[in-house]
Structure 1
Amino acid sequence: MIIVIDAGHGGKDGSTRGLFSKEKDVALDVAILLGQTIEKEIENTKVIYTRTEDVFIPLYERIDIANKAHADLFISIHCNSMPSSMRGRTETSGVETFVSGSGRLGEQDVAVRENAVILLEKDYKDNYDGYNPNDPESFIVLSLMKNAYRRQSIKLATLIQQQYIKVGRVNRGVKEQSLAVLARAGMPAVLTEIGFISNPDEEEYINSLSGRQEIVQNIKNAIQEYTKQLVAN
Structure 2
Amino acid sequence: MSSLAPAGSGQVAAARKIVKPRQKPSSPVKCERPKFRIVVDVGHTPDSYGALSARNDPEFGFNFRLARLVTARLKSEGFAATRLLVTDGKARPSLFKRVGAANDARADLFLSIHHDSVPDKLLETWEFDGASSYFSDRFSGHSLFVSRQNPHFATSLMLARMIGRRLKEQGLHYASQYTLPVMGRYRRQLLDMDVGVYRYDGLVVLSRTRSSAVLLEAGSIINRDEEMEMNSAERQETIAGAVAAGVGEFCERR
Same fold flag (TM > 0.5): yes
Partner of 2:226: 202
Quick one: distance in 2 between partners of 1:200 and 1:184? 34
- Report what 1:175 is aligned to: 198
Q: Which deviates more from structure 2 when the two are superposed, residues 68-77 or residues 82-91?
A: 82-91
Aligned pair partner of 1:86 in 106, 115, 123: 123
Structure 1 contact 6–49 (Cα < 8 Å) conserved = yes
Q: Secondary structure at the match of 2:204?
A: coil
**Alpha-carbon distance in 2 for matches of 1:50, 1:186:** 16
Residue 162 of structure 1 is aligned with which of 162, 165, 172?
A: 165
- Over aligned residue pairs, what C-alpha RMSD do you find? 1.7
Q: Which has the higher helix share?
A: 1
SS of 2:158's equivalent in the other structure is helix
Output the CA distance in 2 between the equivalents of 1:82 and 1:147. Answer: 25
**Which of 227, 235, 241 is the equivalent residue of 1:211?**
235
Give the CA deviation at 1:165. Answer: 0.9
Contact 1:98–1:175 (8 Å) recurs in 2: yes
Matching of residue 32 in structure 1 with residue 72 in structure 2: no
Match among 90, 98, 115 for residue 145 of structure 2: 98
| Matches of 1:32 and 1:44, distance apart in 2 | 14
Q: CA deviation at 1:44?
A: 4.7
* Matched residue SS, 1:58: helix
- Which amino acid letter does the alignment assign opposite residue 100 of structure 2? D
Indicate conservation of the 8 Å contact 1:10/1:25, yes or no: no
Q: What residue in structure 1 maps to residue 178 of structure 2?
A: none
Retained in 1: the 8 A contact 2:99–2:208?
A: yes
Q: TM-score, normalised by structure 1?
A: 0.74
**d(CA) in 1 for partners of 2:144, 2:230:** 16
Aligned residues: 184
Report the Cα offset of residue 61 of structure 1: 1.2
The 2-side partners of 1:68 and 1:157 are apart by 23
Structure 2 letter corresponding to 1:95? H
Residue 194 (structure 2) pairs with residue 147 (structure 1): no
Q: What is the TM-score of this pair, normalised by structure 2?
A: 0.68
Displacement of 1:55 after TM fit?
5.8
Task: State the match for 1:130 in structure 2.
Answer: none
User: 1:86 is aligned with what amino acid?
Assistant: L
Please identify runs of 4+ aligned residues in structure 1 that moved more than 6 A: none
Per the alignment, residue 125 of structure 1 pairs with none
- The one-letter amino acid paired with 2:249 is E
Distance verdict in 2 for CA 1:216–1:55, change over 3 Å? farther
Q: Deviations over 1:94-116 (max 9, x none)?
A: 11100113xxxxxxxxxxxxxxx
| Contact kept in structure 2, 1:96 and 1:192, CA below 8 Å | yes
Q: Tell me whether 1:190 sits opposite 2:214 in the alignment.
A: yes
Q: What SS is found at the alignment partner of 1:36?
A: helix
Q: Does 1:227 align with 2:228?
A: no
Match of 1:68 in 2: 104
> CA 1:89–1:184 in 2, change beyond 3 Å: closer, same or farther?
closer
SS of 2:237's equivalent in the other structure is helix
Q: Give the aligned residue type for 2:137.
A: T
Find the aligned partners of 2:108 and 2:204 in 1 and give their Cα distance: 19
